A and B are shown apart, each in its own frame.
Chain A
Amino acid sequence: MSDTIVPLTTKKDWVSDQEVRWCPGCGDYGVMHAVQTLMPELGVAPENTVFISGIGCSSRFPYYMNTYGMHSIHGRAPAIATGVAVARPDLDVWVITGDGDSLSIGGNHLIHALRRNVNLTILLFNNRIYGLTKGQYSPTSETGKVTKSTPFGSIDHPFNPLSVALGAEASFVARTHDLDRKHMIEVFRAAHAHRGASFVEIFQNCNVFNDGAFDDVTSKHARDEMMIDLKHGQPIRFGVDGHKGVAMGSDGQLRIVEVADAGESALLVHDAHREDPGLAFALARLSHDDHSATPFGVFRDVQRGDYGQMVGAQLASASEKKGPGDLGSLLRSNGTWMVGGG
């Protein structure tokens, strides 16, 4: 195989003829353009690509892609996509979901798709709010959030989506955000290249019901000091001129340090391929709110058997041992007897 992929398609080939119906200014547009820009670069064909979504604003996504697609049921996209990917390991299957869709009503399907390591590229649009139902708090909304359903402030403790994914044995876990198309493209490319379940959390702005939720971290003026870009094999540094970094204290806790004080050798070197998910988990929980330095990029990328391929392998090995199934023999497999004539 050659390293350079010759594009078989252009971005236009991936755009459906349907009018896009998200609110003007919605972060979903940025994600869609990133995906449509990336697809020709992957060297894959639209007819071999399937987008499956649940319910919610982001779940309208498949309608806008000129591929096979299904806009399904609230929370169930990972289960339906599992059916597609297990039946047809030859296909590229993407799951489009939101924080309510996959962490609330569909939490069970998400964790089991990750555990089984089904070959899916799961993009979770996290805007920390229910948009389509007009502004209720979500399982990723911060405690104290005032919404229509929490007029006195939410008392729920939120999920950290990356912690959930890592706890669910995910083999690929990453984070990106809707304001940086280049970053999204690189993360999506890595997610697509990973065989098995890839989980990507996208910080996505809902400019109608939760505007600016991630501004303190992802806005242009904040990024330099607040975004920690993880790069495999490199010391974790960020800030202007990389003056800050992430180091592990003697208590085993990760903390943010000034490189000048701690010294370069104290910095943690990021290892996305590390079998043990402990450090990835610690990095995922480095930030506890949307107002402090937050890691982005690929947290974890390890190899584990792809569920659909393993199902196929069991079928192939059974056929090899027993030969192709014969219905007549099956019907006689519990013993038979003859009546008359025989």
Chain B
Amino acid sequence: MTDTTPTIDTMPSAEHARPERAPEQISHVVVRFAGDSGDGMQLTGDRFTSASALFGNDLSTFPDYPAEIRAPAGTVNGVSSFQVHISDHDITTPGDSPNVLVAMNPAALKADLHRLEQNGLLIVNSDSFESRDLEKAGYDHNPLNDDFLSAYRVVEIPMTSLTQKATETLGVKARDAERSKNFFALGVISWLYSRPVEPTIEWINGKFKDLVKESNLAAFRAGYNFGETSELFDHPYQVKPAQLPAGEYTNISGNVALAWGLVAAGQLAKLPLFLGSYPITPASDILHELSKHKHFGIRTVQAEDEIAAIGMALGAAFSGHLGITTTSGPGVALKSETISLGISLELPLLIVDIQRGGPSTGLPTKTEAADLNIAMYGRHGEAPLPIVAAYSPAHCFDAAIEAARIALKYRTPVILLSDGFLANGSEPWLLPDVSTLPDISVSFQTEKNHIAADGSEEYWPYLRDPVTLARPWAIPGTPGLMHRVGGIEKEDGTGNISYAPANHEKMVHLRADKVAGIAHDIPPAVVVGDADADLVLLGWGSTWAAIDAAVQRTRRAGTKVAWIHLTHLNPLPPNLGELLRSFRTVLVPELNLGHLCRMVRAEYLVDAKPINKVQGLPFTSAELEVAITEALS
């Protein structure tokens, strides 16, 4: 680990814990930090995650927060939670039920207690269980004073007053000290799970200044020491580093991975990136991230609205840039007309949809995958486009490159689907060797491409590549290739306005055939698990994590099950129909009411059955395990 240990002088590190309290080895643990929106729970969870990542655990996170920035303090509506699963082996989900719940107030207890496993460890900030706090949370009794919590192992810690005591010598006012209590909680949990303290101390030193820094450090140390000395816990636990494939890792969230994938796509395509975007949860982080990296030649414009955002991206695409717009469901609806124009102009364009609960404002901070239908069908006219879906936080990187590859090669708008669960969740990512990433560059047209009847050379903007059916991309500034494109139907080849009936039908078919033909340029669907099973799960998007865990558990229990996960949703892999027909039962788990399920039923006439969940939450692996068992019985 680190050679120089920063200011831990007053604090014994995990390695020096007293022998009688040696850590017990456990294979994994799921911790959920829950508190008021103002309590800093996202930060606390994030720091615990980072320390665990640097320690070498495999992990998966699930930030779960309200849409309101600060709902009334102390109310259930204002509860913000962060769940993290750390493990000494390969995991994909943030865990079904937490083993540990840290509840900073009664509202957090009320909101999240039902998630805690039976006999799970419940750590509460007992200072915040005054009658007023209880009232705000809607409790007519103090759950700490009766047998309400008898099914759990309850540890009461007066975190607020202990933090105040730990910081009073620094001259921190009691009210300000309270703001550091999340670091006290982090200290307790860091001791309990034998986390290295250096990364957190280093981070506090770098992030804060002056009294705030000192106060946070003191609270963190006090929490850590409290864990060790208070005897409230029998002993600490240790989750050993996971045996992950060798290499260099970073902890990555879906939105950062997606943004970096876009940066990579620009580099691999040798094109400047242009992002037109309008702020919307949960997609804004991509705008923020790309805005930071101007030295990559990335232009970002925060447009006046969703329509302008995609309009600018389309204008940039016409001008020879890799045009991108990022949004969530409501924004996709607003962009629909421009996507159709992009399909008609046959220009490369990337539309990134970080799905959230809908319709309308719906559940803006919660996850759902109910935009597949709008991605497939949500345009006027015959307007098919390719759809790529990311399945894990780290996969967002590859999915962005793949979506850009298709857009550029086939001169078409592409919708890239992610969702709130992937966007904010994180996992360790084995960094790719950038030299092995695919070359996705394409050539601009620079020469005239057709001989006119009079023998002169001319440029036909809709003269297609016979294999890909893509049209040439001639950008402004190219002498001799001046041409006009527009939303009015074009004559095949010349691109001139044409209202001819047969030409329109031909163009509709050409645009559809071009997209359908991409099926030959994507990897075939692959069966994971038991190819000879009776039942196959067909998944897409972020259900990957829960399906993976459910399939593993089902197979460990001795039942055969197969799984196909799609990253290309339009066109579908050409072998998919044949594969699905080879199973007696096809189950399609989706965070919607059956979008993909209906697609494959219509496409392949297979009797696929939906498993749906629309609670703004991902599937748990247990839910899917039950569904598999029921389907097989």
A interface vs B, CB < 8 Å? 16, 18, 45-52, 55, 62-63, 65-73, 76, 79-88, 90-91, 108-109, 112, 311, 314-315, 318-319, 321-325, 327-328, 330-332, 334-342
Asked if A90 and B477 make an inter-chain contact with CB atoms under 8 angstroms apart, the answer reads: yes
User: Does the CB pair A330–B250 fall under 8 Å?
Assistant: no
Contacts of B218 in A (CB 8 A): none
**Contact between chains at B250 and A335 (CB < 8 Å):** yes
A262 to chain B minimum Cβ distance, whole angstroms, is 44
Given A108-B305, A109-B304, A327-B264: A16 touches B484 (CB 8 Å cut-off)? yes
Which of B54, B318, B485, B497 has the largest number of chain A CB atoms within 10 A? B318
Q: A69-B482, A88-B477, A336-B248 are in contact. List 8 more A-B contacts (CB 8 A).
A: A47-B481, A47-B482, A79-B315, A83-B274, A315-B297, A322-B295, A323-B295, A339-B244
Within 8 A of A (CB), among B270-318: 272, 274, 276, 293-299, 301, 303-305, 307-308, 311-318
Q: Chain B contacts of A83 at CB under 8 A?
A: 274, 276, 301, 311-319, 323
| CA distance in complex: A324, B298 (Å) | 11
Spot the interface stretch: B81-89, B337-345, B550-558.
B337-345
Q: A85: which B residues are within 8 A, CB to CB?
A: 315
A55 to B296, CA, bound (A): 36
Asked if B318 contacts A315 (CB within 8 A), the reply is no
Q: Are the C-beta atoms of A69 and B295 separated by less than 8 Å?
A: no
| Complex Cα–Cα for A335 and B318 (A) | 37
26 A-B contacts (beta carbon < 8 Å): A18-B484, A18-B496, A48-B477, A63-B484, A63-B486, A69-B482, A70-B486, A72-B341, A73-B341, A73-B487, A81-B315, A82-B301, A82-B308, A86-B312, A87-B316, A88-B320, A109-B304, A112-B304, A112-B308, A319-B294, A319-B297, A336-B250, A337-B53, A337-B56, A338-B248, A342-B248
Asked whether A325 lies within 8 Å of B299 as measured between CB atoms, the reply is no
Chain B min CB distance to A334 (Å): 5
Instruction: Give bound CA distance, A96 to B13, whole Å.
Output: 70
Q: How far is the CB of A142 from chain B (nearest CB, A)?
A: 29
Q: Say whether, besides A79-B307, A315-B297, A334-B256, A84 and B476 are in contact (CB < 8 Å).
A: yes
Check if B54 sits within 8 Å of A341, measured CB to CB: no
The answer to whether B249 and A336 have CB atoms under 8 Å apart is yes
Expressed in whole angstroms, the Cα–Cα distance for A297 and B345 within the complex equals: 37
Which residues of B lie under 8 Å from residue A318 when comparing CB positions? 294-295
The chain A residue sitting closest to B484, CB to CB, is: A69
B455 at the interface (CB under 8 A from A): no
Q: Which residues of B contact A69 (CB under 8 A)?
A: 482-486
With a cutoff of 8 Å between Cβ atoms, the chain B residues found around residue A51 in the complex are: 484
Q: For chain B, residues 249 to 275, give those with C-beta under 8 angstroms from any C-beta of chain A.
A: 249-252, 256, 260, 263-264, 267, 272, 274
In whole angstroms, what is the CA distance A327 to B430 when docked?
15
B246 within 8 A of partner (CB):
yes
Question: Which range holds the interface residue count of chain B?
Answer: 35 or more
Q: Does B488 contact A (CB under 8 A)?
A: yes
Q: Which chain A positions have C-beta within 8 A of B119?
A: none
Chain B, residues 464-508, CB within 8 Å of chain A (1/0): the string is 000000000000111111111111100000001100000000000
B453 is an interface residue with CB less than 8 A from chain A? no
- The answer for the CA separation of A65 and B267 in the assembled complex, in Å, is 35
Give the shortest distance, in Å, between A107 (CB) and chain B (any CB).
Answer: 10
Q: Is the CB of B245 within 8 A of A325?
A: no
Contact A76 B308 (CB under 8 A): yes
Say yes or no: A325-B248 contact (C-beta < 8 A), given A52-B315, A73-B341, A91-B476: no
Q: Which of A80, A87, A325 contacts B320 (CB 8 A)?
A: A87
CA separation between A334 and B430, bound complex, in Å? Answer: 13
Q: How far is the CA of A109 from the CA of B256 in the complex (A)?
A: 30
Contacting pair A337 B476 (CB below 8 A): no
Chain A contacts for B479, CB-based, 8 A:
45, 47
B295 touches A332 (CB 8 A): no
Please name the residue on chain A nearest to B345 by beta carbon. A70
CB distance from A281 to the nearest CB of B (A): 23
Complex interface: chain A residues within 8 A of B295 (CB): 315, 318-319, 321-325
A324 and B270 alpha carbons, distance in the complex (Å): 13
B595-608 contact mask (Cβ, 8 Å, vs A): 1 or 0: 00000000000000
In the assembled complex, the Cα of A331 lies from the Cα of B256 at a distance in Å of 10
Q: Which residues of A contact B338 (CB under 8 A)?
A: 73, 76
Task: Please give me the residue from chain B that is nearest to A322 by CB atom.
Answer: B295
Least CB distance, B258 to chain A, in whole angstroms: 13
Given known A87-B299, A88-B319, contact A76–B56 (CB-CB < 8 A): no
A322 to B292, CA, bound (A): 11
Query: Which residue of A50, A63, A109 is within 8 Å of B311 (Cβ)?
Result: A109
Residues of A within 8 A of B483 (CB): 68-69
- Decide yes or no whether B434 CB sits under 8 A from chain A: yes
Query: Inside 8 A of B432's CB, which chain A residues have their CB?
Result: 331
- Closest CB of chain B to A259's CB: distance in Å? 45
| Chain A CB within 8 A of B511 CB | no
**Which residues of A have CB within 8 Å of B337?**
73
B430 to chain A, nearest CB (A): 8
Query: How far does the alpha carbon of A324 sit from the alpha carbon of B50 in the complex, in Å?
Result: 29
The distance in angstroms between the C-alpha atoms of A182 and B408, with both chains bound, is: 45
| Contact (A87, B53) CB under 8 Å given A331-B431, A339-B241 | no
Query: Residue of A at shortest CB range from B259?
Result: A330
**Could you say which of A52, A328, A336 has the most chain B C-beta atoms within 10 Å of its C-beta?**
A336
Decide if A332 touches B431 in the complex (CB within 8 Å).
yes
* In the complex, chain B residues whose CB is within 8 Å of the CB of A319: 294-295, 297
Which of chain B's residues have a CB closer than 8 A to the CB of A338?
A: 246-249
In the bound complex, CA of A325 to CA of B272 (Å): 12
Chain A residues near B341: list those with CB within 8 A: 72-73
> Would you give the shortest CB distance from A87 to chain B, in whole angstroms?
4
Q: Is B321 an interface residue (CB 8 A)?
A: yes
Contact partners of B345 in chain A: CB under 8 A: 70
CA distance A62 to B560 in the complex (A): 63
| Cα A340 to Cα B487 with chains together (Å) | 56
Shortest beta-carbon distance, A337 to chain B, in Å?
5
Q: Which residues of A contact B264 (CB under 8 A)?
A: 327
CB distance from A314 to the nearest CB of B (A): 6
Quote the shortest CB–CB distance from B617 to chain A (angstroms). Answer: 27
Asked if B486 and A91 sit within 8 Å, CB to CB, the answer is no
A-B pairs, 4 with minimum CB distance: A83-B315, A71-B486, A325-B296, A340-B246
Residue among B54, B250, B311, B496 making CB contact with A79, cutoff 8 Å: B311
Choose one: A47, A112, A339; the contact of B476 (CB below 8 Å): A47
A47 and B475 alpha carbons, distance in the complex (Å): 9
Which of A51, A335, A341 gathers most chain B CB within 10 Å?
Answer: A335
Contact check, B482 vs A67: say whether CB atoms are below 8 A apart.
yes
Complexed CA–CA distance, A51 and B247 (Å): 52
| Contact status A47-B480, CB under 8 Å | yes
Assess the B263–A327 pair: CB atoms within 8 A: yes
**Chain A nearest CB, measured from B276 CB (Å):** 6
Contact B312 A62 (CB under 8 A): no
A108 touches B482 (CB 8 A): no
Q: Which of B294, B296, B319 contacts A84 (CB 8 A)?
A: B319
Instruction: Enumerate chain B residues within 8 angstroms of A315, measured Cβ to Cβ.
Output: 294-295, 297-299
Identify which of B312, B323, B431 contacts A82 (C-beta below 8 A): B312
Contact across chains for B305 and A84 when beta carbons are under 8 A apart: no
Q: A47-B478, A109-B308 are in contact. Are A330 and B263 (CB under 8 A)?
A: yes
Q: Which residues of A contact B314 (CB under 8 A)?
A: 72, 80, 83
The 8 Å CB contact of A50, one of B53, B294, B312, B476, is B476
A66: B residues at CB distance < 8 A: 482
- In the assembled complex, how far is the CB of residue B323 from the closest CB belonging to chain A, in whole angstroms? 7
CB contacts (< 8 Å) of B482 on chain A: these are 46-47, 66-69
Contacting residue for B251 out of A71, A73, A327, A334, CB 8 A:
A334
| Closest A residue by C-beta to B244 | A339
Q: What is the CB-to-nearest-CB distance from B335 to chain A, in angstroms, rounded to a whole number?
A: 11
For B228-254 the 0/1 string (1 means CB < 8 A from A) is: 000000000000010011111111100
A212 CB to nearest chain B CB (Å): 30
Which residues of chain B are within 8 angstroms of A52 by Cβ–Cβ distance? 315
**Contacts of A47 on B, CB cut-off 8 Å?**
476-482
Contacts of A339 in B (CB 8 A): 56, 241, 244-249, 430
